[in-house]
Amino acid sequence: MASWKTPYVWMDGGLKPFEEANINLLTHTLHYGLGIFEGTRAYEQTSGGSAIFRLDDHLRRLKGSALAINIQLPDSFDAIRQGSLDLVEANGIATCYLRHIAWIGDGVMGLNPKDNPIRFAILSWPWGAYLGKDGLENGVRCKVSSYVRPFPNSTMTKAKVTGNYVNSILAKREVVGMGYDEAIMLDTNGYLAECSGENLFVVRDNILRTPALTSVLAGITRDTVTQIAHDLGYEVQQTIMTRDEMFFADEVFMTGTAAEVTPVREVDDRPIGTGTAGPVTKHIQQVYFAAIRGELPQYADWLSPVALKEAKAS
């Protein structure tokens, strides 16, 4: 069982022991869900030490999410960037997940908390394969959920807003309760959107297709995979897609910081392609995992190194 507790968190502008970083019950975000977050990973590097993967891109999205919900982060981009590196170093866990979170603190309890303080913290914890090691190797079983992604004008669909995840959790619980691993969600027009916490790719005749960014989160792994696929000579199309395209596909896979690059072997009880991880998915996985471990110099810019005193793998 994973431990979500590590010795330190970064809160109110500096490192703090985990036990001292507390919030009170009048925290506005706890009641109404207007907060923002990021999920980022650090990986042990093959040459030693650790590095945070695409840290600046995650922080740029965090900044965008803050603007989208109209809050002012209490810490600067540079302070948050340095805080992220300091936290990985302080906790001494080379391969970990980082959670940046901003929330509205206590003050008024009504729906216009304009003067409540905005609080910010970074946590880290060891996190292995989000959908399991077997899922990463052999693929996961998915079901299209009865819950649809919010209409773009119902919330801010490009922002990682904490409250948006009620929709994801309902979908995930629905399909896991039926024995599947992950939920696939459609948008309000019935087109393919994404999974509860991952973007989707469909492969046919070596062409990769991924749903357009309408009500879909602009995933950083989606972007990473698009760049890797282009570099490997694959064509990548972003387009409106129907759910049945998955049944005509050679391969389907999902991407996300947590799920990394996970093959989909079955959708709605039908096997996809050969019913296991396909060759294009494996090709992309192989490059992705080499890139995050710092083995490919052409992707070195994606890594922000952290020197660890005593590196522990996880």
Ligand X SMILES: Cc1ncc(COP(=O)(O)O)c(C=O)c1O
Residues tagged active-site: 160
Q: Would you say 160 or 265 has its CB closer to ligand X?
A: 160
The correct pick among 11, 69, 136, 220 for binding ligand X (CB under 6 A) is 220
The correct pick among 135, 211, 256, 273 for binding ligand X (CB under 6 A) is 256
The correct pick among 257, 262, 285, 304 for binding ligand X (CB under 6 A) is 257
In the complex, least distance from residue 158 CB atom to ligand X, rounded to whole angstroms: 10
Whether 266 and 139 have beta carbons less than 8 Å apart is answered as yes
For residue 194, state whether it binds ligand X (rule: CB under 6 A).
Answer: yes
According to CB under 6 A, which residues from 26 to 85 bind ligand X? 39
Q: Would you say 121 or 308 has its CB closer to ligand X?
A: 121
| String marking each residue 155-174 x if it binds ligand X according to CB under 6 A | -------------x------
Q: Which stretch binds ligand X (CB under 6 A): 28-36, 118-126, 174-182, 197-205?
A: 197-205
**Runs of H (alpha helix) within the chain:** 28-32, 55-68, 77-91, 133-138, 165-177, 220-231, 279-292
In the complex, least distance from residue 123 CB atom to ligand X, rounded to whole angstroms: 15
For residue 219, state whether it binds ligand X (rule: CB under 6 A).
Answer: yes
Q: Which stretch binds ligand X (CB under 6 A): 20-28, 206-214, 249-257, 297-305?
A: 249-257
Which residue from 197, 159, 162, 152 is spatially nearest to 62, judged by alpha carbons? Answer: 159
Q: Which stretch binds ligand X (CB under 6 A): 13-21, 111-119, 215-223, 275-283?
A: 215-223
Q: What are the distances in angstroms from CA 214 to CA 21, 153, 222, 263? A: 37, 10, 14, 23
Cβ neighbours of residue 28 closer than 8 Å, sequence gap 6 or more: 34, 103, 104, 105, 106, 107, 108, 109, 113, 116
Q: Rounded CA gap, 265 and 32, in Å?
A: 37
Strands (E), the chain: 8-11, 14-17, 36-44, 50-53, 96-104, 118-125, 140-144, 182-186, 192-195, 199-204, 207-211, 235-239, 251-256, 260-267, 270-271, 303-306
The correct pick among 95, 124, 145, 221 for binding ligand X (CB under 6 A) is 221
Binding site for ligand X (CB under 6 A): 39, 168, 194, 197-199, 217, 219-222, 255-257
